[in-house]
Amino acid sequence: MPGDLKTSSGHDPASDAGLRPSLRQKFTYGARLLPNYAWQKITRRLPRGPVHLVIALADHFEPSIVPENVLLRAPYEEQERRLEFWCREYPRCAEAWRDHDGYPFVHTYFYPAEQYDRRLIQQLAEHCDGGWGEIEIHLHHGIPAPDTAQNTRRQLQEFRDVLASDHGCLSYVDGSGPPKYAFVHGNFALANCAGGRFCGVDDEMQILADTGCYADLTLPTASFHPAQIAKINSLYECALPLGQRAPHRRGRDLERGQSPEVFPLIVQGPVMLHFFPSRSRRVGIENGAITRRNPLSLPRLRLWKQAAISVRGRPDWLFIKLHCHSMDPTQQDAVLGDAMRNFLRELVGGAEQRGEILHFVSAREMVNIILAACDGREGNPGEYRDYRFKRIRATPSESTLGSAQTMVQR
């Protein structure tokens, strides 16, 4: 079972405080991003009139996280305490602020497969059943040695199946067939794109496709991370063979009137440059990360909108994928305190004046709305939250018997 796996894990080592990138790393990162960034700045324009903002938060949800040493795990009692606190306090934080469709600001909890624990997952699943998000699949591997394709496939299949059968998580195409899932790669090294570090499996994208992954939401990486690719601010399908290392380096942008054929889709968050006051002569990198040092704010929202991430031919539906580590105790205020409350109040309270129609969605719902845009659907994008991939909830007796599931209605 996934709960018995002892694979070492941790969140992005390159983003930890105190680890400064070298001048060479900064140059390589900039050389990779700047050509596409400059072209997008020239060619992309926000449409006139109101825009729909479809906002999802990919939470790299790791109750065991030890910020001081990412290779260690917090004691189980501490993991229980963190999760209980979160499930109690997050609804209090976000309840008052609703989107255009009446939904609260939800998280998609990408839970590490290698850290599966039945009690913790069940508590989180019950939190999600209350309307506060959905659980999807996260995986750290290739630490300290490269992983194998066989082991990667086994971990994904086992975790997928236990989430679906024992906890009523994940989704199904039009409510039937094998379970499908969204994915975030630990340490950002999707399909071995970090030069062999934090993964080791060149054909990982093919494995994801084979095991039912419909979308990857890993990118962008932390600043100056070696896994960052040149293609940014995009929604696309891989253009290289999925069995190759990092086939997401090249892609076909999703377009209205053309249904995608290659899954998993790549759903990227924003990458933008922002300039500090002139005296400092500093340039910052906006990558959609919610942290203590960079909390949510309306100036950041303006940058996310300028990234103009959309399906071609549907520029008034903008997709904003953010990410965080909400179980990191050093980030608590950014995701659960005044910083989050103030942002939600300003976001919702000023939306009409800014010409924004807000839609708070899970990763699954975001992908469904993207697919609806590809199929040329019109009107309110919030109506397409369950367009193709639908949530299923197995009752306890059905789970035991392996029989039919019943639909969860939000």
Among candidate residues 128, 256, 146, the one with its CA nearest the CA of residue 191: 146
Q: Residue 254: which residues within 8 A CB-CB, separation 6 or more?
A: 235, 236, 237, 260, 265, 311, 312, 370, 373, 374
pLDDT of residue 282: 76
Q: Residue 246: which residues within 8 A CB-CB, separation 6 or more?
A: 190, 191, 192, 193, 229, 240
Between the alpha carbon of residue 142 and those of residues 162, 354, 392, the distances in Å are 23, 45, 32
User: 10 Å Cβ neighbour count for 110?
Assistant: 27
Task: Look up residue 129 and give its DSSP letter.
Answer: I
CA 77 to chain centre: 27
Among candidate residues 197, 179, 180, the one with its CA nearest the CA of residue 189: 197
Counting as low any pLDDT under 50, the low residues of the chain are: 1-18, 393-410
* Domain regions of the chain by residue span: 2-400
pLDDT of residue 70: 80
Does the domain formed by 2-400 have CATH 3.20.110? yes
Q: Per DSSP, what are the bridge partners of residue 320?
A: 55
Among candidate residues 286, 307, 272, 351, the one with its CA nearest the CA of residue 105: 351
Dihedral sign for Cα 347, 349, 353, 359, please: positive
Distance, CA of 159 to CA of 147 (rounded, Å): 17
